[in-house]
Amino acid sequence: MAEITFSKAELERYSRHLIIPEFNIEGQRKLKAAKVLVVGTGGLGAPLIQYLSAAGVGTIGIVDFDVVDDSNLQRQVLFATADVGRPKVEVAKERIEAQNPFIQIKTYNTQLTSENALEIIKDYDVVADGTDNFPTRYLVNDACVLLDKVNVYASIFRFDGQVSVFNHLHEDGSRGPNYRDLFPSPPPPGLVPSCAEGGVIGVLPGIIGSLQANEVLKVITGIGEPLSGRMFIFDALSFETRTLNLRKDDNNPLNGKNPSQTKLIDYEMFCGIGQESEEEKKVKEITVKELKAWQTENRDFQLVDVREGYEYDIANLGGELIPLAKVAEEVNKISSDKEVVIHCRSGKRSADAIHLLEEKYGFKNLYNLKGGILAYADEIDHSLAKY
């Protein structure tokens, strides 16, 4: 580490680290020499990048294929209103370079996939996973285990957060538990909502992403006890916190007793994505343009909205509100003697409602609004708020 040196400006900038006895200039040298890859520049990625760069991590890679969206601004305080529509990695790089000119930022304006993950991750020492979907969670985990990288993990949902350090290198050369020891199989698509589907309280990614950044700094510098073999869980609503002890699963396909997986796989397929869309296709559909035509010609049909009341208050098409969970109970409100168009936000819940109504109650007059109210806002009525 002796070859890592600092300018006067750097010494002054990092002085609050340098005067912590167990951190000191040795810790700062390790940070400057370190390469950290942050996957995802969302709720968790934004605070991660901000704190890691301010702390002086020498090289930070950031991977994201998305652009800044209005709905990001409630929690991703790295971005400003004027950034909406710009690539996230580009904006992040700009902000970080303005905050700390002494570090290197490398951007990957792409989606992390089974094809590029090993190539991108191999050059880094530590990976921080702030992605927002199960296929990428398993992809990041598996790539880190295959490449012997530490994966500092966090995830959030509504008021709940989880943090752990996976695949940490122990002194005896063994590795700590990883994501697959904890969750061997992914849940089916749609059952566990993402932040986009289920919502998240704005300050939560700030709390959890900061804890994640702190674990990254500990892994790099070797100070303290990283959250390896443990998982921290936080419920912001009740302020319940737990730190649970994990253990390795002998059946882990990557590094259990009989490893069966030696390379990356198709994670979309592993998570069942695309396999249920056939079922969705089985219901009759109409497009938002067709719906608009029906409305314009005053056709006699019923429009049913199976979202929740609080979603209806954000934007609605004037349909009759029957939340999905109440459809069976209020089945008598749904006409059987004329055409009925059922819609939700994106078309998923309304397809579920139609399946239920067709299979259990024998309806034959139901049409799913393709793309839901989101498609209607995009193609027909731009004044509707998208959420």
Residues 359, 353: Cα–Cα separation, whole Å: 10
Give me the residues paired with residue 163 across strands: 154, 232
142, amino acid identity: D
Kindly report the number of other CB atoms within 10 A of residue 382's CB atom: 8
Give me the residues paired with residue 36 across strands: 60, 126
Among 326, 286, 285, which residue's Cα sits nearest to residue 305?
A: 326
Sheet (strand 302-305) strand order: 285-286, 366-369, 340-343, 302-305, 320-321
Residues 323, 302: Cα–Cα separation, whole Å: 15
Residue 183 interacts with other proteins (CB under 8 A): yes or no: yes
Interface pick for other proteins out of 74, 110, 174, 185 (rule CB under 8 A)? 185
Residues 194, 239: Cα–Cα separation, whole Å: 22
Residue 154 interacts with other proteins (CB under 8 A): yes or no: yes
Report the helix count and the strand count for the chain, using DSSP H and E. 16, 13
Contact status, residue 247 vs residue 256, Cβ threshold 8 Å: no
Triad 288, 292, 295: Cα angle to 5°: 140
Interface pick for other proteins out of 63, 156, 217, 322 (rule CB under 8 A)? 156
Identity of the residue, 238 or 258, whose beta carbon is nearer to other proteins in the bound complex: 238
Residue 246 interacts with other proteins (CB under 8 A): yes or no: yes
- Catalytic residue (one of 60, 150, 195, 208): 195
Interface pick for other proteins out of 49, 126, 200, 340 (rule CB under 8 A)? 200
**Smallest separation (angstroms) from other proteins to the CB of 158:** 8
271 is known as an active-site residue: no
- Catalytic residue (one of 344, 353, 373, 374): 344
195 is known as an active-site residue: yes
Kindly report the number of other CB atoms within 10 A of residue 17's CB atom: 17
Residue 233 interacts with other proteins (CB under 8 A): yes or no: yes
Residue 142 interacts with other proteins (CB under 8 A): yes or no: no
Identity of the residue, 23 or 267, whose beta carbon is nearer to other proteins in the bound complex: 267
Residues 188, 274: Cα–Cα separation, whole Å: 11
Which residues in 103-132 contact other proteins (CB under 8 A)? 129-132
Helix (H, G, I), strand (E, B) or coil at 331: helix
Residue 92 interacts with other proteins (CB under 8 A): yes or no: no
Residue 37 interacts with other proteins (CB under 8 A): yes or no: no
Identity of the residue, 140 or 357, whose beta carbon is nearer to other proteins in the bound complex: 140
Residue 202 interacts with other proteins (CB under 8 A): yes or no: no
Interface pick for other proteins out of 2, 3, 191, 262 (rule CB under 8 A)? 191
- Contacts (Cβ under 8 Å, ≥6 apart) of 289: 379, 380
| Rg, Å, the chain Cα set | 24
Residue 44 interacts with other proteins (CB under 8 A): yes or no: yes
- Kindly indicate which of the ranges 89-97, 194-202, 329-337, 343-351 contains the residues binding other proteins, using the contact rule CB under 8 A: 194-202
Kindly state the number of chain residues that form the binding site for other proteins, as judged by CB under 8 A.
Answer: 46
- Kindly indicate which of the ranges 24-32, 236-244, 285-293, 344-352 contains the residues binding other proteins, using the contact rule CB under 8 A: 236-244
- Contacts (Cβ under 8 Å, ≥6 apart) of 331: 357, 361
- Kindly indicate which of the ranges 35-43, 114-122, 293-301, 357-365 contains the residues binding other proteins, using the contact rule CB under 8 A: 35-43
Chain residues in the site for other proteins (CB under 8 A): 40, 42-45, 129-134, 137, 154-157, 160-162, 182-188, 191-195, 198, 200, 205, 231, 233, 235, 237-238, 240, 242-247
Q: Which residues are catalytic?
A: 195, 344
